[in-house]
Amino acid sequence: MVRSALRARARQYELRDQFAELERVVGALREAETTLRDADRRKDEFLASLAHELRNPLAPIRNCVGLLKMAKQPDARMIEVARDVIDRQSQQLSRLVDDLLDLSRITRGTVSLQRSHVPLAEVVRNAVETSEPALRAGRVNLVQVDPAPAGYVEVDPVRISQAISNILNNAAKFTPEGGTVTLDARCEEGVAVIRIRDDGAGIDPEMITGIFDLFVQEHRPDGRWKAGLGIGLTLVRRFVELHGGAVSASSDGPGKGSEFVIRLPCVVEASCDKPPSEGAGAALDVRPILVVDDNRDNAQTMSALLGTLGFEVRVAYGGEEALSHVRQRVPEVVLMDIGMPEMDGFEVARRIRSHPGGDDCVLIAMTGWSQEDYRARARTAGFDHHLVKPVDFDRLTLLLSRSSRPVSAPAA
């Protein structure tokens, strides 16, 4: 009888423990379901925002094209306005694509930092130049406490300038017309401290902890959305942390402005001299160039641009046509797309290199593929340079202003 009672009591304890474990598992599943639903909601919001952000610059570009088509004889002013709008909006599209690619690289852990010993002032100056259009468009005043802060940093200057610029762009977005953004950069006890303060919309205290999370977007006090993908501040944090630094945000609440602070290791004295810069305005030699792209619009417009600089330009719309041109006369430079049908740019490059005189030709990849494995394949195929579409024309002219090939092509 006693044993039976003991067994029953033991069974009760066992069932109680099982129920407790079951409740814990159910709770964990519910929490996981909530997390997944939240992630799914944020993903849908992100895709909707991405479509919105892509349509925004496309709309004025299409408007300009329509305007130029409808005008029988567009005057110089109309052409200038259309040109400037298309230039600004295409840059915006490029920035969106670059941000998405950077996010993809960070997520996959394939970001490659090109560190160098650079003045803090140069990094800040580049960031300000990048953000000037956004600040000007929002009619926001930028005040720099010290336009030329002392000290050097050991960083990838492009990535850190991008991080500072992302915060400046955010400040321009959430600061009303006539408002002020203050930028204070200095080295303090071995640490580069970059403070960006604004007197704009501010941040809700509940948002502070998650402001750097992926796809998190801020709301204005009036409840309306501000344009954006919710990835800019995520990139800021990741880039800064990759450099061993830290970034933080603070605000006294909605309508009371906000402050972002980036901290990075700082070197007070320069350990090496900065090499002289190479301006894009270097003299260009008239040299024969072959433009190869199955996208006829891109090939023809690139040919026209190069023609305005005095180059002798031929155009091919595929690999076989390009090789036919090479057999007739080997150009000094080939500007070529990679992703072409029938014969891709890698194969065309290998065949050009194997052709008599092809080893002296400068091969420049002009492609929408920016991943490192494509760059490596391009180098192996014999390309000397890799430019991502839409091609930065200033960078291209700088490459063309230089003499012959920097290095001999790798073997096919």
Residues 317 and 396 in one domain: yes
Q: Are 299 and 293 in contact (CB under 8 A)?
A: yes
Q: Tell me: do 358 and 225 sit in the same domain.
A: no
Residues 120 and 226 in one domain: yes
Q: What is the CATH number of the domain that holds 336?
A: 3.40.50.2300
User: What's the number of domains the chain is made of?
Assistant: 3
In terms of domains, do 133 and 242 share one? yes
Place of tokens 């996981």: 32
Residues 138 and 247 in one domain: yes
Q: Is residue 383 part of a domain?
A: yes
Q: Does any domain span residue 181?
A: yes
Query: In terms of domains, do 177 and 298 share one?
Result: no
Q: Are strands 191-198 and 246-250 parallel, antiparallel or unpaired?
A: unpaired
The pLDDT of residue 180: 94
Q: Is 266 exposed, middle or buried (0-12, 13-18, 19+ CB in 10 A)?
A: buried
pLDDT of residue 411: 32
pLDDT recorded at residue 281:
40
Same domain, 246 and 168: yes
Residues 243 and 329 in one domain: no
- With respect to residue 281, please indicate whether it lies within any of the assigned structural domains: no
Q: Which domain holds residue 51?
A: 2-108
On whether residue 270 sits in a domain, the answer given is no
User: Could you tell me if 67 and 78 are in contact, meaning their C-beta atoms sit under 8 angstroms apart?
Assistant: yes
Last residue of a domain, one of 63, 92, 108: 108
In this structure, what CATH number is given to the domain that contains residue 141? Answer: 3.30.565.10
* C-alpha to C-alpha distance for 63 and 342, rounded to whole angstroms: 35
Judge whether 255 and 375 are in contact, CB under 8 Å.
no
pLDDT at 293: 93
Of 108, 127, 161, which one is at a domain's C-terminal end?
A: 108
Whether residue 325 sits in one domain with residue 248: no
pLDDT for 228 equals 54
Q: Answer yes or no: are the C-beta atoms of 184 and 140 closer than 8 Å.
A: no
The CATH number of the domain holding residue 52 is: 1.10.287.130
Domain boundary among 52, 86, 108: 108
Considering the domain boundaries, does residue 324 fall inside one? Answer: yes
Average pLDDT, 10 consecutive residues per value, the chain (412 residues): 70 78 84 78 66 72 83 83 82 76 74 85 89 86 90 90 90 90 91 93 80 64 49 87 91 89 80 42 62 90 87 93 94 92 92 92 86 83 89 82 47 32
Specify the DSSP element, H or E, that contains 197: strand 191-198
Mark whether 146 and 28 lie in a shared domain: no
The reply to whether omega before 390 is within 30° of 0 (cis) is yes
Q: How is 87-123 classified by DSSP, letter by letter? A: HHHHHHHHHHHHHHHHHHHHHHT------EEEEHHHH
Residue 411 lies in a domain: no
Residue 274 lies in a domain: no
Residue 235 has a pLDDT of: 86
Give Cβ neighbours of residue 251 (< 8 Å, ≥ 6 apart).
Answer: 202, 203, 205, 208, 257, 258, 259
CA neighbor of 183 nearest in space, from 121, 265, 264: 121
Residues 137 and 99 in one domain: no
Residue 335 falls within a domain, yes or no? yes
Amino acid, res. 63: N
Check whether residue 242 and residue 128 sit in a common domain: yes
